[in-house]
Amino acid sequence: MADRFAFKEKESRSGRAGLRLAGDDGRKDEPDTSHVQVMSREDFVRMFAEEYTPSHLTMIGPTQRGKTTLCFHLLGAVLAAHKQDHWRVVFLHGKIKRRDHVMKDEAKAGNYRIIKSWPPGFTLRPKHWKRNVNGYILRPLGNDKLTALEEEKILKQEFGKSIRTVYHSTRNVTITVVDERAQADKDLKLGKDLDAPLQRGLPHNPEWNNIQRGAWCSYHCYDAPEHIFLFVDDDDSNIDRYAEFGVGDPRVIKRVMAGLKLKKVETGGTISQCLYMRRSDRFMCIVDT
């Protein structure tokens, strides 16, 4: 009897010891992130544009990380790759005035027309004709002194018209870029209109969302996109949420996020590398600044 007990005792001890060891190993053992390589921006943008088919995209990161800039780089390359098909862009530009110079520069570089209301009107200058531009930056607010409520009413009306027309269109592929999704959802209450396209598996007209504060946006922005870009974020609870997107191992995502590099730029912003994740084949890489 005594022997049998002794054996059990030994067995259970070694069992516990085994478990404890495995636990310790798990903690010591960092997840393997060697498959997540750094790509130069040029290489990444080229690869992305070559492979891109109409699919949703989401970029998440605090202000001044370089989201809008990367968006325009990708759009330029994607449109160039589909020049024959005449793909277009509608870029919804909200109310933040100090960003105006960026929009003007991008409009010029990317050959977009800045318009105040939807649909785009006629214009006599040939370079502004519909077939001669890559798309539109819809910027309903001018320099008029309006109250916040008046501004929101105008934005909601013009953005809403554009979102709905593009959603129902079966003509040339049009990418709608929502540059501040939190504003569109929370202030403008356009969440429902913007969620409709995201709930379509294979969209004809994709939606690209830029998000500063993840907690305020519809979960479809996280569930639906084929392409996700995560920029450096200091908030641990945000990182926890982003790691659960289901695109990769959360521990890998967290470790890669912790290693992303930051860079100060002349305008006072702190841009960062970002983690790119593709849902269909779980490909991940780091996009350099």
Q: Taking contact as CB under 5 A, which single stretch among the options 9-17, 66-74, 121-129, 156-164 is the one that binds Mg ion?
A: 66-74
Shortest distance in whole angstroms from residue 100 CB to Mg ion: 12
Query: Phi-psi bin for 268: left (phi > 0), alpha (psi -120 to 50), beta?
Result: left
Shortest distance in whole angstroms from residue 212 CB to Mg ion: 8
213 binds ligand ATP (CB under 6 A): no
Whichever of 65 and 113 has its CB closer to ligand ATP, that residue is 65
Cα–Cα distance measured from residue 60 to residue 181, given in angstroms and rounded to the nearest whole number: 10
Q: Where are the alpha helices (DSSP H) in 205-262?
A: 220-223, 236-242, 250-259
x/- mask, ligand ATP, residues 245-274, rule CB under 6 A, reads --------------------x-x-x-x---
Between residue 83 and residue 142, which ones bind ligand ATP under the rule CB under 6 A? 102
Whichever of 175 and 252 has its CB closer to ligand ATP, that residue is 175
Supply angle C-alpha 150, 155, 160, rounded to 5.
135
Whichever of 74 and 173 has its CB closer to ligand ATP, that residue is 74
64 binds ligand ATP (CB under 6 A): yes
Query: In what side-by-side order are the strands of the sheet with 207-211?
Result: 37-39, 284-287, 274-278, 227-231, 57-60, 207-211, 174-178, 88-92, 135-138, 112-115
- Cis peptide bond N-terminal to 140, omega within 30: no
Burial class (CB in 10 A: 0-12, 13-18, 19+), 163: buried
Shortest distance in whole angstroms from residue 208 CB to ligand ATP: 12
Supply angle C-alpha 203, 37, 62, rounded to 5.
60
Instruction: Identify the residue among 68, 134, 183, 209 touching ligand ATP (CB under 6 A).
Output: 68
103 is written with which tokens?
A: 């929009």
The answer to whether residues 67 and 96 touch, using CB atoms and an 8 Å cutoff, is: no
40 binding partner (options ligand ATP, Mg ion, none; Cβ < 5 to 8 Å by kind): none
Q: Give the helix/strand (H/E) hosting 181.
A: helix 181-186
Cα–Cα distance measured from residue 133 to residue 165, given in angstroms and rounded to the nearest whole number: 18
181 binds ligand ATP (CB under 6 A): no
Shortest distance in whole angstroms from residue 181 CB to Mg ion: 11
68 binds Mg ion (CB under 5 A): yes
69 binding partner (options Mg ion, ligand ATP, none; Cβ < 5 to 8 Å by kind): ligand ATP
Between residue 35 and residue 54, which ones bind ligand ATP under the rule CB under 6 A? none
Q: Taking contact as CB under 5 A, which single stretch among the options 13-21, 60-68, 250-258, 268-276 is the one that binds Mg ion?
A: 60-68
The answer to whether residues 164 and 190 touch, using CB atoms and an 8 Å cutoff, is: no
Instruction: Identify the residue among 14, 53, 63, 123 touching ligand ATP (CB under 6 A).
Output: 63
Q: Which residues bind ligand ATP (CB under 6 A)?
A: 61, 63-69, 102, 212, 265, 267, 269, 271, 289
Q: Which residues bind Mg ion (CB under 5 A)?
A: 68
